[in-house]
Structures are given as structure tokens and as C-alpha cells.
Chains A and B, each alone.
Chain A
Amino acid sequence: MAKLSLMFEDKLVKEVPIGGRPVGIGRSPDNDIPVDNLAVSNYHARVYFEAGRLVVEDLDSLNGTFVNDLRVERATLHDGDKIHIGKHHIKVDATGDAPFPVDSGRKATAPRINETMVLDTKVRREMLQQAAAMGESMQFASNRMKVPTLVVLGGKTDQREYVLTNRLTVIGKSVMATVRMKGWFKPQMAAQINQRDDGYYIGPGDKIPTVNGAPIPGPVKLNDGDLIEVSGVRMNFIFRE
């Protein structure tokens, strides 16, 4: 079970397990962790589990709550963190049962987001600002929008050039193929190209294509200018301006 250890200098003063109820910290004796020091407010801070995270919350104390020397109003705690209150500090032990990923090297600067959330309220505003900023950089990039294109250099296909607009582009003899091969003994699906978030990947079909002369071991990310060859068809993958 996770626990808090109140320390004065290097001496252990009190150990308190953290369960379902918030652990109160303050000068008043009815706190779970009473800290007898004038620099500490009567109800100074509390520690509790929220959505699988261990959280410390300052209760508008006069002198503040510090996690790893950083003043916080609210922060997610990680194993090994130190909460400083007045001249005392509290060691956080989250090893017992950690319902959240224990990441001991972290400083508690921002709450960790483990729960799925849609952009809402405060976070939403922040994220939307960030997204808007990204939108601006996107507009900047869109001046030079690049269109992924396959240019056929050799072999029989139904077109000489293909703009890759789908998430999946099939190269083969099949009537459903985007890049349709012509001729006898051509495979129904020779190869396929998958559009992913970070770019375009070519993978094997009935055949193993080569990229720049080397047979691909599995899906391979395509770069501007790559030469693809499969079943007698040679193509150039380029980003058109």
C-alpha cells in the first residue's frame, strides 16, 4: 500500500498509509499528519488518489506546499517524490501498489493525464490554443503542400502516374487495385502502400517489391525519390510540389 512518511531532517516522525480517504496535513492536531510548526497552516495540504493517480493539493496555505522544491497548488505524485511543508518533508512511497505507472525520475510539474479526456474546460482551452498554433504552422507548411505520387517508369499499367489519395493503395492486376498492372501472369496484388500518420509505407503483397534495388524485409517507409520495382513494373515515388 502507498504511504507517506513525515520526516524532520533525517528522522522519521510518522508513517501514514494512503487509502480511499484523503490524508490531511497541517498544524491542527485533527490532521492525519499533524505537523507542529508555526510555518505550517492549520489545514495545509491533502494527499489522495484520483483516477488512479496520487495527488497532492495545497489548501491555500500561507507558506505553500512544495514538491521536489517546486511550489504547487496541485500536482501528481510519483514514487520517491518529496513534499516540503515548513521545515518538514514528507516522502512519498507509491511502490506498495501502484495503480498508475511509477516513473520515479519525474518531477511533479504537471499532472499526468491517464484518463482519456476530450478537450474540455480549462484543458480544452489550452489544447485548442496549442492546436491553433499548430494550425498556423500547418498553413505555413501548406504553401508547399506536397502530393505523394507514383510515376511509372517501366512496365504496363493503366496509367502513367498515380496520386496516392487513399489510406491503402493496392498495386496489382486486380480490378480493385489502384495501380492496375496489365499482362498475363501478373499477381492480383503485387504490393501495397499504407498511408500512416508519419508517412507512406510499402509492404509486400503476393510478391516482395524492391526499394532502390533492395528487397524489403517488411513494410518500409518511402522517401522522396525512391525507386520501386515489383513484377516487372518500375515506379518512382515522389512528393510533387
Chain B
Amino acid sequence: MRIASGGKSDVGRVRSNNEDCYRILGELNLFILSDGMGGEAHGEIASALAVETVVKHCLEAESNPVAPFFGETQAKWNSRTKRLSSAVYLANKKVFESAEQHPEQRGMGATLTAAWIDHDQLSIAHVGDSRAYLLRHGNLQQLTSDHSLVAEQVRRGMLTPAEAEKSDMQSVLLRALGAQQKVEIDAEEQPLFAGDLLLLCSDGLTRMVAEAEIASALESESDPEKAAEKLVALANASGGADNVTVIVARLGPVSKSWFSWLGLGTRKHSNGNGTAGGK
């Protein structure tokens, strides 16, 4: 399946530095997004370190088919899902160890949401509150559960989603990279259909822009790069209270004629090295 992708990261309207970080590896159809936290510039260090660790581990595994897996993996997962989970495990270790070795980095951490598309299979691994969505037939469907206090309260029926959106505690995470030596990772697989659209985003988008608005913006813009820019602009127009980062990947539409097979060999992707860092 042909995949076009694009990403955009912005500091927002209030913060002075961008602690978000993302990478798009178009040749692998691998998408990684991280939202760092921790005072001074350490949130940036944490998110960049997390993203780089995932990229490095996945690239190494591509050239070494017998590369070992780290952390807990489930036998039913495909190799991409196992690899992503393994990469997130290592990313947590790296961030944690860096904070241990550098006292000034203490308390830094990061979310991480990574997606890997292999033909019609989507693998997702994540920790934190950066989300993955699938837009299909106009429905924006959340593929990840936020590891935040308010989301947990919603799952347990203690808060309604509307109450959670107004809560003062939205920024409190129950899980993040770097907080502890080991972290519990959520990983999942989903079958993909022609025309599906994958969205990865930091909470700077989802807290500022309603899902219906996100869905219609994605529907109205077919170019992933421009769609990502549009979502960032929407978040900023609504106040831009936080850094906002968006990755959009669109699977090719259903082939209507056999002539379209001729185009299958080409794969469009942007150069997505969005290492944002207050620049």
C-alpha cells in the first residue's frame, strides 16, 4: 500500500521552548513522536533521547534479522510490534539512566508513541498521553489509552470525559519514560484498509482542538504535510497553550483501475526530521 506522510512541530503560543520531538522514517513507514517534560531544557533532552533510541534500535534490527528483543513481548505479536515494544523499553532505560547520571536532569521524562506500518498491518507501542488515532470513513478512532490520572479515572467511571477535559490534573501522568527503571508498555496491532489515515499527536493538539474539528480538518486536506500544518495552526488558534506536534500518514486510496498498479512502486514521503528544540 502506498503511504504519504508529513509532520509538524511547533512551540505553541505560551511556552518558550519546544519539548516535543518527532521522526518520520519514510523508507520504513515508521513514525515516532515524543513529548518531553522536566524543567530547564531537560524535557527536550528526554524526548530527543527517546526518539533517537527508538530510531536506532529499529534501524539496527532492519539490518540484523536476529537482533534480540528487550523487555516483555507477547508471542502473538508480529515482529514489528515486538521490535517497537523492545525499542520503547530501551528508550525508557536510556532516559532513566541519563537522569541518574546527570543530577541536573532529575525528574525529566517523556511520552512516546510509535507506529509502524507493514503492508496492511499497523503496529503501535506507547507510553504516556501522546495519542494515535485512525481516521476511517470520517470516524476519528483513538488507538491508544492515555496513561494519565484523569483517563484512568474515566476508565474507572469516576469522571466523565467532559469532566476530565476540565480537570486541573490533566497533566499528571501515571506512566512516562524515564520515571522508573522499567516501564509498562502498551502495544497493539490493527489491520489497515485502503484510505485509512493515521494520526499521531502530542497533547498540545488534543487539549486545544476537539476531535470533530480534527477529523474535519484531516478530511478536507489530502496532503499529509499540509494537514499536519493545518492541525498545528488550529491548536495555536485555540490558544496554543502547549507545544504541539502532529504526524499524519495516509494510506493510498482503493485502486479503481488496473492502470493504478503502475504507480505502486513509488512511495511518497517527506523528509521528516522534526527534531524540535526551541529553534
Contacts and interface: CB of A to CB of B under 8 A. Distances in A.
A joins B in a complex: yes
Q: Shortest 4 CB-CB distances between A and B: which pairs?
A: A176-B191, A203-B139, A194-B141, A118-B176
B156 A113 contact: no
Nearest to A175: B191
A138 B139 contact: no
A117 B172 contact: yes
Q: Which of A99, A167, A176 neighbours the largest number of chain B CB atoms within 10 Å of its CB? A: A167
B136 to A, nearest CB: 7
B69 interface: no
Contact of B146 (A115, A123, A197, A203): A197
Contacts of A166: 188, 190
Interface in B152-186: 152-158, 160-161, 168-176, 178-179
B234 interface: no
Contact of B173 (A110, A118, A137): A118
A134 B158 contact: yes
A99 B13 CA distance: 9
Contacts of B114: none
25 contacts: A113-B169, A113-B170, A114-B241, A115-B37, A115-B171, A117-B37, A118-B37, A119-B174, A120-B179, A123-B172, A127-B149, A130-B149, A131-B149, A137-B158, A141-B157, A166-B190, A167-B141, A167-B143, A168-B143, A170-B191, A174-B191, A201-B141, A204-B138, A205-B137, A219-B141
A176 B138 CA distance: 19
A119 B14 contact: no
Q: Would you call the interface of chain B mostly helix, strand, loop, or mixed?
A: loop
Task: Give the interface size bracket for B toward A.
Answer: 35 or more
Q: Would you call the interface of chain A mostly helix, strand, loop, or mixed?
A: loop
Interface in A45-72: 51-52
Interface residues of A, number: 43
B120 interface: yes
Contacts of A130: 149
Interface of A: 51-52, 99-101, 110, 112-120, 123, 127, 130-131, 134, 137-138, 141, 166-168, 170, 174, 176, 188-189, 192, 194, 196-198, 201, 203-206, 218-219
A174 B190 contact: no
B142 A176 contact: no
B109 interface: yes
Contact of A194 (B129, B139, B149): B139
Contacts of B37: 115-118
A240 to B, nearest CB: 18
B214 interface: no
Given A114-B241, A176-B191, A196-B161, 13 more contacts: A114-B171, A118-B37, A119-B179, A127-B174, A134-B153, A166-B188, A167-B143, A174-B193, A176-B120, A189-B193, A192-B141, A197-B155, A205-B136
A116 B175 CA distance: 12
B35 interface: yes
B11 interface: no
B206 interface: no
